[in-house]
Structure formats: C-alpha cells, structure tokens
Homo-oligomer: A and B are copies of this chain.
Amino acid sequence: MATINQNFLQLQGSYLFSEIAKRRTKFIEENPNAQIISLGIGDVTRGLPEAVTKAMHSAVDELAQSNSFRGYGPEQGYDFLLEAIIQNDYKARGIDLQMNEVFVSDGSKCDVGNIQEIFSQDAVVAVQDPVYPVYVDTNVMAGRSGSFNKEKNQYENIVYLRCDADNNFKPELPSRKVDLIYLCYPNNPTGMTLTKEELKKWVDYAKENNSIILFDSAYEAFIQEEDVPHSIYEVEGAKEVAIEFRSFSKTAGFTGVRCAYTVVPRELKAKDADGNDVTVADLWNRRHTTKFNGVSYVTQRGAAAIYSPEGKEQINSLVDYYMTNAGIIRDGLKSLGLDVYGGVNAPYIWLKTPSGLDSWAFFDKLLGEANIVGTPGVGFGQAGQGYFRLTAFGSRENTEAAVERIRKLSL
C-alpha cells in the first residue's frame, strides 16, 4: 500500500506569499480602481542586461543548427561559466577555487532546499529567525523538525537564532550544539549584514563543534560598504566548514531565467556513521548528477555574459538602480521617525511597525490606506512579529510614489 511521507503533514498551512496574494485579490475585488504598488515579493522588474540577451540570442542560434547544436551538458555546468565564476567572484577577492568545487544550478531555492539531503536525518538544524521559509520547510519534509508548536510559532527540534533590534539583527551563537547552520547575508528579510569579524565567530563555532554553515549569499551583489565580506571564504578556514550559495536572480534579473551556483570546497568534510571523514563535495556531486541534468545552455551563456566588461557595467547600473530605490525608501521612512533597518547593503528594508501594530495589521493598513503591498515580518518567523519588509525592486516611479503615500498616512 502506497503511503505518504508523513513529514509533509507537519508543514504549516499555506505559504506566506499565497496569503498575501489572497488578501490583495480580495482588496482589489472590493476596490477595483485602487492603484496598487507592490513592494512585497522579492522579484526584480527591470529588463535583462543587453550583454545577457545578446549572448542568449547567439546561443539560441547555435542550437538551431546541427553543426553547432549542444545536447546534454555537464550537470555541474559548462567550463566557460565555471571559469568566469571562479575568476571574477572568487579569484578577484583572493579566494582560490577549483572547477570541481563549483556547481551551477537552476536556482538557489533548489540548492538550499536540496542540500540537506546529503546530511543525516538526525542532524540538528539552526536557522535565523526571521528566516527564508525554504530552509525550514525542506527540513520539515526531511523529518528533522519535530512537531510544530503553535503557541511559539516554531518547530520543536529546530534551533531558532533570534535576530531583532535588541541584537542589531546579529544572532547569538546557539546555546545547544547544532550540526547545520543556515546563515543568510546580506540577510533576507532584514537586509542586515555581518562584518568579517562577526562572521569569523560563526566559522570558529563551526570548527569547534564540527558543524557546517550553509551560507546563503544570494544578495551579495548589493553590498556597498567596504567592510562587508562578499564571501564567507574571506574568513580564514571557512572552506573547512562552509558551503556557499550564490544566485544570478537578483544580480542580473534572472528570476525568470533561472541560474545560480553552489560552492562546496574539497576541504569540507563530514563524518560517516563510523566516524570517518567524507568529502562533502563528492556527496553533493553525486546528488547533483543523479537528480539534475544541468542548466539550459542558453541560460548559461547568458550568465557568463554578465562577467564581460559590458556585462559588468550593465549589472552595476542595475544594482545602482535598485539600491537608489532602497535609499529612497530608507530615507523616506526614517524622515517619518520610523525605525528602519537594511537597505544599505541589500535590496530589503526592514521596519519596525509603528504604533505597536502587529505585522499583519500593518499589512492591512498599508494595503487599505496606501494601496501598497509589502511583506509582514511575522511571515518569516516569530521574531519578525512587529516588523515589515519592503523591497527595492520596484520601478523608480512606484518607489517614489509609495514613499509619498506612506508620508500621508497617520502612523
């Protein structure tokens, strides 16, 4: 008799963004003339850089002809893309990586979701709170979460690392031993970052406890300040304890094109049941080649093009565009006396909801009175209660209009 993976029944209700969509749809039905501005879901809005589309056109032309056609490529990605990544994203910052340490994929969501598969089912998992829901949900599916405690809004067996204004969104080291630690910097949803010194604390903890850090660095391209590390491998010894995830989604507008990569250094080991060291990159390679068949050739050519001189310039101007938006939101809200975080090295602005409103009450107020859709902080975890996320990915016009509308609210 076919029975289901019972862990799926531990998953909590509908996903954050479907609840947002539901409330938004209801509002539009009741207010058909409202001009909604969405600063909610973290999706980009600007067209792809010209260097990228040029490369994609030319790749499509290659595939059209039998003499230049390419079928299955290496599951780990084509050499031309791996080389560009290693050279530009790592070598240029003094980090040496080999070709067999980088794995190209169709998205960081997939990679951060799938990575847990290669670790034991009884691994103790720590996540930041608030947190990108995929880290938690994929561990729930794998049976690592224990049951959900409704009162706490947390799973019993997950270790939550509270990030709030009291600790400036920099979590304390876990009070109990943990095996896998998901860290995201620049952070989604808070937009905050760590210095190299602060990151080193985590690398040291991982070394002492034989833990592995799963470092989600999807927003790396938005870092503006000098003292913020671009890669966890800037911290000495991090290669022995960390896997790093990077994405082209926000960097180059690839949310609909799909390309990302994951770095698993050969130095990174985990123990088997007999206490022997196993090279984690070998496990990930086996997982990746068995359950994945490579990224579209057209997409990989597009991704490689962002490392060309024109590509880099165009990416910079995209990032500038969004970070100017971030500044407009940040400064605008600050001038209203709101407590505002992030938006300096990340496209996310995290604000304390005014007048003690809870996150969903502020969502409803913002939608109802200013016709702006944002994301309730509590949707990212209990520590996000009383906070709210706005994104810098809208158009300039909408971003400015949104700030003006908020200015007119009685907060």
Pairwise interchain contact B293-A71, C-beta atoms closer than 8 A:
no
Does A137 lie at the interface of the complex (its beta carbon under 8 Å from any beta carbon of B)? Answer: yes
Task: Chain B residues near A256: list those with CB within 8 A.
Answer: 63, 69-73, 294, 296-297
Tell me which of A40-48, A148-156, A358-366 binds B: A40-48
* Contact residues of A between 30 and 44, Cβ < 8 Å to B: 41, 43-44
Q: Kindly supply a per-residue 1/0 record for chain A positions 254-294, scoring 1 wherever the CB is within 8 Å of any chain B CB and 0 otherwise.
A: 01111000000000001111000010100100110111111
B8, A286: Cβ atoms closer than 8 Å: yes
In the complex where A287-B141, A290-B138, A297-B256 touch, is A119 in contact with B3 (Cβ < 8 A)? Answer: yes
Chain A residues numbered 277-331 whose CB sits less than 8 Å from any CB in chain B: 278, 280, 283, 286-287, 289-299
Determine the distance from Cα of A243 to Cα of B62 in the docked complex, in whole angstroms.
35
Q: Identify A5's interface contact among B120, B177, B253, B298, CB under 8 A.
A: B120
Find out whether the CB atom of A6 lies under 8 angstroms from the CB atom of B272. Answer: yes
A47-B70 contact in complex given A107-B293, A258-B296, A296-B257, C-beta closer than 8 Å:
no
Q: In the docked arrangement, what's the CA distance between A269 and B406, Å?
A: 48
Question: A87 in the interface, Cβ–Cβ < 8 Å?
Answer: no
Chain A residues numbered 199-231 whose CB sits less than 8 Å from any CB in chain B? 209-212
A209 and B1 contacting across the interface, CB-CB below 8 Å: yes
Interface membership of chain A positions 145-185, coded 1 if the CB is closer than 8 angstroms to chain B and 0 otherwise: 00000000000000000000000000000000101100000
Query: A11 near B: Cβ within 8 Å?
Result: yes
Task: Pick from A60, A134, A255 the residue with the most CB of B within 10 Å.
Answer: A60
Are B123 and A291 closer than 8 Å at their CB atoms? no
Asked if A117 is an interface residue, CB under 8 A from chain B, the answer is: yes
Q: A15-B289, A179-B1, A293-B107 are in contact. Are A8 and B118 (CB under 8 A)?
A: yes
Please tell me if A109 contacts chain B, counting CB pairs below 8 Å: yes
CB distance from A13 to the nearest CB of B (A): 11
Residues of chain B within 8 A (CB-CB) of A46 are 66, 69
For the complex, is A234 an interface residue (Cβ under 8 Å from B)? no
Among B2, B118, B278, B295, the residue within 8 A (CB) of A180 is B2
Tell me the chain A residues, 45-61 only, with Cβ under 8 Å from chain B.
45-48, 50, 53, 56-57, 60-61
Does B66 contact A3, Cβ atoms closer than 8 Å?
A: no
**A290–B64 CB distance below 8 A:** no
Q: A4-B271, A61-B53 are in contact. Are A71 and B106 (CB under 8 A)?
A: no
Kindly state the separation between the CA atoms of A299 and B257 in the bound complex, as whole angstroms.
9
Asked if A332 is at the interface (CB within 8 A of a chain B CB), the reply is: no
Cα–Cα, bound, A63→B180 (Å): 38
Which residues of B sit under 8 angstroms from A121, Cβ to Cβ? 5
C-alpha gap A3/B211 in the complex (Å)? 9
**Across the interface, do A64 and B41 meet the contact criterion of CB distance under 8 Å?**
no
Given A2-B119, A4-B118; 15 other pairs, CB 8 A cutoff: A3-B271, A3-B273, A4-B119, A8-B283, A53-B64, A56-B60, A63-B256, A69-B253, A110-B291, A113-B292, A117-B141, A134-B291, A256-B294, A258-B294, A296-B298
